[in-house]
Structure 1
Amino acid sequence: MTNNKIFKELEDFLGTHFIYTYDNGWEYEWYAKNDHTVDYRIHGGMVAGRWVTDQEANIVKLTDGVFKITWTEPTGTDVALDFMPNESKLHGVIFFPKWVHEHPEITVCYQNEHIDLMEKSRLQYETYPKYVVPEFATITYIGNAGQNNNEVISEAPYQGMTDDIRDGKYFDKDYKKIKK
């Protein structure tokens, strides 16, 4: 289900579902749900198993085919991603608060159901110094899910999920989740 379209305008980017692996080996899945909201699952790295829906974000076109997305999570983590889908690349910078770096297990959940815990932890533990992770990544999957498709990120990550998605075993031709 890899999409071979050429990205130019923001409208080309919105509704796109990506899987990418940072050069440090961390694997992420990310969906441009609409012009102000993103969903994502984390499959590798220090917060593997974390997933989030309806995260408010700033999404802009920098130049033809290059898009910047930024947001702050309830954990206090700041994220800045620069997508270059025509080159199957992105650059991300994640600014983890000290508490997330020291207690990542607290955040490994479906965040939407644990906002109070994220906010409590943010106040209970130290924020600084931030743990900054700047990394390039290779995009290994691009799918055209359409905007506001709540089936794209709708369950916790599991071992082999990203392979199932890349192999066409997770979504049908209409980008609906295949029931297992």
Structure 2
Amino acid sequence: MKTFKSLEDFVGTHFIYTYDNGWEYELYVKNDHTIDYRIHGGMVAGRWLKDQEVSLVMLTEGIYKITWTEPTGTDVALDFLPNEGKLHGMIFFPKWVEEYPEITVCFQNDFIDLMHESREKYETYPKYLVPEFAKITYTAEAGKDNDEVVAQGPYKEMTNDIRNGKYFDQNYKMIKH
């Protein structure tokens, strides 16, 4: 298993993780300022996006923090401890996302205007806070700026296909599904 020491070790890594509440997420650290991700379980399962701008820092050797604000108004802070196979996430969902999660279940990149409109139309407060630990169930080196890592929406057995080597070839290119 890869040992993470530097920020360079972290960038280009593809993760699947499951929060203690059962929500399953997939995140690809595309480069030092961008992530792609898919949500496979939980209140907004089926949501996916590419090229989310983030703040990415190494807190200390092998421990990383990623933070961002989404077009929905959702704020996210993730602390990755990949050498220990875990992370802690804090998600700050606006009230409207908790009340109307189905609006966000889409390929967000195609619906940025709808996210902005919904953010203005519906209530933000009180925010729905989700502080959870997660177990990292998959880690792989996908390389930087690999647009094939998150290239399609999530489907039922996708994370199992990825973990079982049925989704990517030896060059980390998507096998057509």
Give TM-score, length-normalised by structure 1. Answer: 0.98
Unaligned runs of 5+ in 2: none
1:139 matches 2:136: yes
Question: Residue 81 of structure 1 aligns to which amino acid in structure 2?
Answer: L
For residues 25-64 of structure 1, what are the structure 2 equivalents within 5 Å? 25-64=22-61
Greater than 6 Å deviation, 4+ residue runs? none
Q: Within 5 Å, which residues of 2 pair with 1:91-106?
A: 91-106=88-103
Q: Identify the residue that residue 112 of structure 2 maps to in structure 1.
A: 115
Q: For 2:153 and 2:176, how far apart are their aligned partners in 1?
A: 15
Instruction: Report whether the alignment pairs 1:21 with 2:18.
Output: yes
- How many residues align? The count is 177
Tell me the distance in 2 between the aligned counterparts of 1:31 and 1:83: 12
2:31 and 2:172 map into 1 onto residues whose CA distance is 16
**Which residue of the other structure, out of 6, 10, 23, is the alignment partner of 1:9?**
6
Does residue 71 (structure 1) correspond to residue 68 (structure 2)? The answer is: yes
TM-score by length of structure 2 reads 1.00
Consecutive unaligned residues in structure 1, runs of 5 or more: none
Distance across 2 between alignment mates of 1:103 and 1:5: 40
State the one-letter code of the partner of 2:13.
Answer: T
SS in 2 for 1:83: strand
Equivalent-residue separation in structure 2 for 1:88 and 1:55 (angstroms): 23
* 2:159 aligned partner: 162
Taking the aligned partners of 2:101 and 2:43, their CA distance within structure 1 comes to 6
State the distance in 1 between where 2:167 and 2:132 align. Answer: 28
Task: After TM superposition, give the deviation of residue 53 of structure 1 in Å.
Answer: 0.3
The CA deviation at 1:179 is 1.4
The answer to whether residue 162 in structure 2 is matched with residue 171 in structure 1 is no
CA distance in 1, matches of 2:138, 2:78: 16
CA distance, structure 2, for counterparts of residue 134 and residue 147 of structure 1: 29
Aligned equivalents of 1:92, 1:8: Cα separation in 2? 21
- The SS at the match of 1:174 is coil
SS in 1 for 2:2: coil
What are the superposed Cα offsets for residues 58-88 of structure 1, whole Å, 9 maximum, x if unpaired?
0000000000000000000000000000000
2:71 corresponds to 1:81: no
User: Is the aligned partner of 1:130 residue 2:110?
Assistant: no
SS of 2:49's equivalent? strand
